[in-house]
Every structure is written in C-alpha cells, then in structure tokens.
Amino acid sequence: NAGVTQTPKFQVLKTGQSMTLQCAQDMNHEYMSWYRQDPGMGLRLIHYSVGAGITDQGEVPNGYNVSRSTTEDFPLRLLSAAPSQTSVYFCASRDPRQTSNEQFFGPGTRLTVL
C-alpha cells in the first residue's frame, strides 16, 4: 500500500492563479480530509468528505473547493490564490468502520502564493 499520497510537494503561485492539489489513498477509506498548517495555528480542517459524492466544510473553507468523485481521490482546488493561502497542506484519510478509526496523513504540499 502506498497509503496517502499528495502531489505536488512544492508549488509557487502568483496571486490570482488557480491550481489543484492532488490527494489519493489506496486503503479504501471512507473519510478524507484536507488540513492547512500555519505557524502558531496548528492544523486546521479545510474540507472533508465522508464518502464518494459527499463533501462538507471544515473550519476554514473559504477560498477552497473540493469534490469526491471516487473513494480514492480527494482533490483540493484553489480558484484564485491569495497570499493568505500560503501554507502547508496535508491530506488525511481514515475508516470509521474500523475500531481504531486511525487517521493517516500524506507527506504534505508546501504552497507559496506571491
């Protein structure tokens, strides 16, 4: 199993550009989430999905869109990047059908918006 994979690892954007952060998992997990990590703020939940076709907002959803067309993939879209979106983005997955409900994380994407 590759676990949770994210691409790209690094990205630099100009203000106003759009891009998609990719996330995939091969563990057949129902739940997938996107977090951003900023100094002094910890990890904050952006969007999450409880299964294919179902998404919902987390703590800081503004400026981000998500979709979940398959169980495996959960892309995060920035439609018009802003400097405030400079951050490290982590994707995670878990399966609440399992007793442990352990959350697994991808390696992260470091995004800089100029």
Tell me which residues touch other proteins (CB under 8 A): 33, 35, 40-45, 48, 50, 58-59, 90, 96, 99-108
Nearest residue to 34 via CA among 114, 109, 113 = 109
* CB nearer other proteins, residue 36 or residue 81: 36
Nearest 5°: the CA angle 63, 5, 39 is 50
* DSSP conformation class of 73: B
For the bound state, the minimum distance from the C-beta of residue 103 to other proteins, rounded and expressed in Å, comes to: 6
* DSSP conformation class of 85: G
Stated as kind and residue range, the H or E segment containing 13 is strand 10-13
For the bound state, the minimum distance from the C-beta of residue 38 to other proteins, rounded and expressed in Å, comes to: 10
For the bound state, the minimum distance from the C-beta of residue 80 to other proteins, rounded and expressed in Å, comes to: 26
* CB nearer other proteins, residue 31 or residue 81: 31
With contact defined as beta carbons under 8 Å apart, do 57 and 34 qualify?
no
* CB nearer other proteins, residue 14 or residue 100: 100
* CB nearer other proteins, residue 71 or residue 90: 90
For the bound state, the minimum distance from the C-beta of residue 24 to other proteins, rounded and expressed in Å, comes to: 15
> Residue 70 is encoded by which pair of tokens?
């398959």
